[in-house]
Each structure stands twice: as structure tokens, then as C-alpha cells.
Amino acid sequence: MNNYLSSALIVRPVTPDDSNDLELKACRALYIGSAGNISFIAAGEDVPRTLPVGNFQELHVQAKRVLSTGTTATNIFAFY
């Protein structure tokens, strides 16, 4: 794990949700355990983005919401 994620103070599992922001608002990064697509809204945007992600991937994005529509990846965690 790199220094950026190892400095996280809080780690929370993510349940993708089209209507609600992440539990502690914008995270520092997302960790994806199982490959698929992840659809999210970045902290500074209101437009959803969908990206393909691999197993055990770290996604360095300050996301405020992970959407259920378009997300097929599983075992997602938010790093704060």
C-alpha cells in the first residue's frame, strides 16, 4: 500500500447508493476489492463518472457518492 492510503485515519465499507452521499462525506480515496465498474460523483463535481476497475485497486479520487446505478465492482471501501 502506498503512503497516501496508509495515512488514512478512518476506513468505512461503501454501500453504493444513488441518493445519498458517503457516510462521512467526501473520502480521500476508494479501495475496490473485486473488479467491475464503479460509478461515483467526485467531491468537486455534480456529474457522475464511471470507470472500469480491477481487483484490489486503489482509486485516488475524492468521491462524495458511489452510485448503485453503473457500479458492478464489489468490496468497496472509503478511506478518510
| Domain presence at residue 12 | no
Give the chain's mean pLDDT: 93
What is the helix (H) or strand (E) element at residue 5, kind and residue range? helix 3-6
| Domain presence at residue 11 | no
| Domain presence at residue 2 | no
Structural domain total, the chain = 1
| Domain presence at residue 35 | yes
Distance separating the N- and C-terminal Cα atoms of the chain: 15
| pLDDT(21) > 70 | yes
| Domain presence at residue 6 | no
Average confidence (pLDDT) over 50-59 = 97
The string of pLDDT tens digits covering residues 55-76 is: 999 999 999 999 999 999 999 9
pLDDT of residue 14: 98
The single-letter code of the amino acid at 71 is T
